[in-house]
Structure 1
Amino acid sequence: MRPFSLRVFVPSGDPTGVLIATRDDGIGKATIFSRSLLGEVKGRKEWNLPGIYLLVGPSKLYIGEGDPVGKRLEDHAAKKAFWERALYFTAETRLNKAHIQHLESKLVKLAQEAGVVPLDNGNTPQAPALGEEEYAFVENVLADLLLMLPLLGYPQFEASEVAAASSDEEVDAPHAAATGKRRAAYSAMPRGLLFHSTSKDARATIETVDGGVLLKAGSIVASEPAPSFDVWMPKYAQMRRQLIESGVIDAQDGRLVVKQDQFFSSASGAATVVRGVSSNADGWIGADGQNLGDLLRQWKQKNFC
């Protein structure tokens, strides 16, 4: 995460009125208003742009998209009685119909995963197919939006527990020294050790090699990553997509199967791609029952403490 500023503009001068929030480095703006101010918001140009929106009541949340966003909000004012406040997010010339459908799908799944408040949505919308560049763009928009929402009073997408970070300095080594330690730890281990991991619909095997591990052909990868995977683990989400697009991971009998051995510089990276959620090396278990995370920590303690 990087530092940022959030600016809130109050067009009427009344802090209980319509609010316009923008990030200093963002591409769009969030318009926040109470139900009684719907008529005032209709006069703003953002009303006629494609956008994603949230309707919030005392104990319920609805997430939707519209192109233009205003028409959908007007429909909900007539047909949905539960909501008291609303927020919609637009970006003139930058967000199109496919972008906002992607944002809607991801926000619904994130809200379901967080479980903070019941959703009024009747179904889970499917995200449209996007090219690699467009996908990366809209995921960056989503990440920025998720940082803004809690500051604007919308915490419904924050899970009570964040996925455990790696304890073996592997998931994203922050500097060259840590990367060097990691490589040295793997290089010092005997070659050819096998470790296995089983979780939900994933079942995989890795083998220790010089400088890292091999995810073995025949391993089964989780068919669907966690909804928050792209947000919190973008590096491995992108790696997972590339491996699927290249055919290294391919569909077979309704499952995602690793078709050829794939090198990873860390066991946690392999576990994260396999499980589709932030993972560490502790989940890789050897034939003697010892996990790979403990072996790596023992090596680091011996050599760097």
Structure 2
Amino acid sequence: MSAGRTIRLFLVDGTPTGLKTAEIMNWTGHVLTGPRSKLSELIQRPECRRPGIYFLVGPNPENTLRPLVYIGETDDVAARLKQHNRPADKGGKDFWEHVCLVTSKDQYLTKAHVKHLESLLIQNAIEVGRCDLDNNTNHEYAGLPESDQADMATFHDEVRTILPVLGFDFLRAAQTAAAGDKPTQPGPTFRLKLGKYGIEASAREIDGEFVVLKGSLARNKWTGPDHGYKALFNQLCADNVLVPDTDGLRRFAEDKVFASPSAGAAVVCGRTANGRNAWLEVGTGLTYGEWQDQQVKGAQPAPDEGTG
């Protein structure tokens, strides 16, 4: 099991929808985030006078399944955010609804550091594929000494750790069952079969996420009524996660994380499906729901260390 981490979260104005700050124990980084509606308050914060990395996040009108994100760097965050807040026809950006700023508590980060971080984070976002980037290009920056590059790699890893806690998932790499991965909570393999169509798909629960495995088969197209999962199916086809296979089927070209077993089952079946019943544990024949219930029934609470 992975070691635990301590993250300190502070609600600046006492509300969960307002400005928030976050820090990880023994990390020099500091995160400030809030909605665009609080921008006038955010830019008055002292963090906005330091060099830093910032993320502008909002819905993507051309892709409802992934957010649109802009990743930038600056040594004057307040001035840069004022520019981005202008109307699009005056050089601003209309899409974003939230902003997230990453700076350093000890003011260690310099302009050179944040330019290097920006390059790392843009490349990371491209590789993970959980968002669409509004950035036009990714300028690789290699102007740091080797020791500073190592420090920024560590800083980058901490940014990836803390952002999902604040609701920003676009840098979090999906767990897979590929060789070399070491999930902290490996689960059994589940199968879904549609004998009529010659479809067989496999999945595992890895670190709390439901992952349909590479090589699994799926219907060639969505056959059910309009549903949110239809958009998911079509997007996976467009992203070449579901690629054409023999016999008029599609095949998963890579491991794919789904929000639930039902989402994975729907994509495999090309129609809505109850994933808790459709996926069967290999070896026992238990449905996913029965397997999960078995895990819960078998769990025992840890002893209360406060009692004698």
Q: CA deviation at 1:56?
A: 0.4
What code does the residue aligned with 2:168 have? Y
Q: CA deviation at 1:160?
A: 3.6
Q: Distance in 1 between matches of 2:85 and 2:111?
A: 22
Residue identity over aligned pairs, in percent, reads: 37
Partner of 2:29: 28
Query: So what's the TM-score if we normalise by structure 2?
Result: 0.52
Measured at CA, do residues 111 and 13 of structure 1 come closer, stay the same or move farther in structure 2, by a change above 3 Å? Answer: same
Q: CA deviation at 1:114?
A: 1.2
- SS of equivalent residue, structure 2 residue 132: coil
Q: Distance in 2 between matches of 1:106 and 1:90?
A: 15
Q: CA deviation at 1:73?
A: 1.4
Partner of 2:111: 97
Q: Distance in 1 between matches of 2:12 and 2:58?
A: 24
Q: Distance in 1 between matches of 2:100 and 2:155?
A: 16
Partner of 1:183: none
- SS of equivalent residue, structure 2 residue 85: helix
Measured at CA, do residues 140 and 159 of structure 1 come closer, stay the same or move farther in structure 2, by a change above 3 Å? Answer: closer
Q: CA deviation at 1:21?
A: 0.6
Q: CA deviation at 1:99?
A: 0.9
Query: So what's the TM-score if we normalise by structure 1?
Result: 0.52
Aligned residues: 168
Partner of 2:153: 139
Partner of 1:150: 164
Partner of 1:84: 97
Partner of 2:11: 10
1:127 aligns with 2:135: no
- SS of equivalent residue, structure 1 residue 16: coil
What code does the residue aligned with 2:94 have? A
CA offsets 1:86-126 (integer angstroms, 9 cap, x no match): 10000142111111111110111111111112110011121
Q: Distance in 2 between matches of 1:130 and 1:162?
A: 33
Partner of 1:70: 78
Q: Distance in 2 between matches of 1:150 and 1:99?
A: 23
Measured at CA, do residues 118 and 50 of structure 1 come closer, stay the same or move farther in structure 2, by a change above 3 Å? Answer: same
Larger proportion of helix: 1
Unaligned runs of 5+ in 2: 61-67, 87-91, 183-308
Q: Distance in 2 between matches of 1:3 and 1:102?
A: 28
User: RMSD of the TM alignment (CA)?
Assistant: 1.8
Larger proportion of strand: 2
Partner of 1:173: none
Q: Distance in 2 between matches of 1:162 and 1:131?
A: 34
Q: CA deviation at 1:129?
A: 2.1
